[in-house]
Structure formats: structure tokens, C-alpha cells
Amino acid sequence: MKVTILQFPGTNCEYDTQHAFESLGATTEIVWHKSETIPADTDLLVVAGGFSYGDYLRSGAIAKFSPVMKAVKTYANDGGKVLGICNGFQVLTEAGLLPGALKRNDGLHFISKHHSLKVENSDNIFLEKLSKGDLVNIPIAHHDGNYFIDEAGLVELEANNQILLRYTDSQGNIQNPNGSVDSIAGICNKEKNVFGLMPHPERAMESILGSDDGVKMLEGF
């Protein structure tokens, strides 16, 4: 399997992501944002976390204009699998590849800690190694992780099983760290080939670092 990982000015999780997928047996390639193409042998395209362009204007708002994003949209629209993690999720919403938007956390502070998530839908390649209702312990690290979508959009997400993950406590009860609508931590598009989440599964690959629950998440690909 070939995983292509995008790198913008300010990205800081590309090497964590590379390590995570290589530990699962994938080959990887990091592609700079000024590239106008994506490698033809790409099986999964990852928009990694970090602070693209210093989060100026709005997180992901400048990155969506990078030359590589035209190729990303073409790849996604042709059915290619895309995963956006943290800032990558923000970039995908800004680019219109995922619905909704990410705004400043309710408490106005950067949050960095492990947090429990409940799997809401696993009828997709991303979470197919998990089951609905499963709990995973995955790190979060964000300032603008407050997912917003209007009421009509939320109804549509529910109807199409596009809500993938919700923030909970370790018993599965809702525990919302950032104010996200309906405690949403991750979603996908209607076609279930573009995925976005604020938590970092690539940082939960080894139990010695606090959790290896990210393994099953990324293994789905």
C-alpha cells in the first residue's frame, strides 16, 4: 500500500504519520504543497496535522489555495481515499471536501491530552476494524477543534451515517472538550472516501506512549 502525505509550511505531524503507516507495512511519500500532482500509485492521501501557514486568517484557510489542493480535489472526486487529521481536517472543510467548519474551542485554550472517543459508524474503510459503540483512547491537540455545522447539515450527517466519532469519557458518556456540535470528533463525506477527525490516531500507535488504539483505526485502510 502506498500512502502519500501532504506537507505545508507549518505542518508538524507528517513524520509521525509516516512512522505510523510504515509500522503497518505501508510505503510512504511526503509531498510538498507546491507540487501540482499526486503520485499516480497513491492508495491513500493524508493531509497531516500541524499549523499550516501558522493558522493565519483561519485554520486551513490559506492551505486550501496551495497548488497541490487542485490535485487533491481531483483525486477525491475520482474516488481516491483521503484522510485529514487535525489541521488536515480543517483544510478539508475549508476546501469544501467535507461539510461543516472548525472554529475556536469553547474555552479559547489549546487542548492537549488523551481523550476517549466512541465509534458511531464503522460502515467505512477507515473504521472497519472497529465496531459501532467501541471506545478508543486517542490524543487531541488543537486550538480550533470546535466542529460546527448547521441544523440541516447535522440532520444530513446523521441520515447518511457520516458521523464517525464522538467525544466521550472512558465509559462512553458524552464528554465534549471543545464545544463541537453534538460532540462530533470525526466525519466523512457521503461517498465515504474522504475522512476527517481532530484527534491524532498516528500518535496512538504504541502502548508505551499512552495508547495503541490508533493501530486499529489506521489498519482499516
- pLDDT, mean of residues 4-17: 97
Please name each of the domains of the chain with its CATH number. 2-219 (3.40.50.880)
Contact 211, 137 (CB under 8 A): yes
Does 114 qualify as catalytic in the annotation? no
The pLDDT of residue 57: 85
> What confidence tens digit (pLDDT) does each residue in 211-221 have?
999 999 999 99
Angle, CA of 135, 142 and 220, to the nearest 5°:
40
Q: What distance in Å separates the CA atoms of residue 120 and residue 98, rounded to the nearest whole number?
A: 17
200 is catalytic: yes
User: Average pLDDT in the 169-189 region?
Assistant: 98
Mean pLDDT calculated for residue range 180-209 = 98
What does the pLDDT average to over 95-121?
Answer: 97
| Amino acid of residue 130 | L
C-alpha cell at 208: 508505551
Whether the per-residue pLDDT at 106 is higher than 90: the answer is: yes
- Write down the catalytic residue from 33, 115, 142, 200: 200
Examine the residue annotation and report whether 115 is marked as an active-site residue of this protein: no
Q: Which residues pair with 197 in a beta bridge?
A: 85, 186
Give the whole-angstrom CA distance, residue 107 versus residue 217. 28
* Across 85-99, average pLDDT: 98
Closest CA to 148 of 58, 64, 65, 74: 58
- Under 8 Å between Cβ of 93 and 101: yes
> Per the residue annotation, which of 33, 86, 120, 188 is the catalytic one?
86
Catalytic pick from 14, 94, 120, 202? 202
Which of 13-17, 56-60, 118-122, 180-184 is least confident?
Answer: 56-60
- Flag whether pLDDT at 58 surpasses 90: no
In angstroms, rounded to a whole number, what is the distance separating the alpha carbons of residues 1 and 220?
A: 12
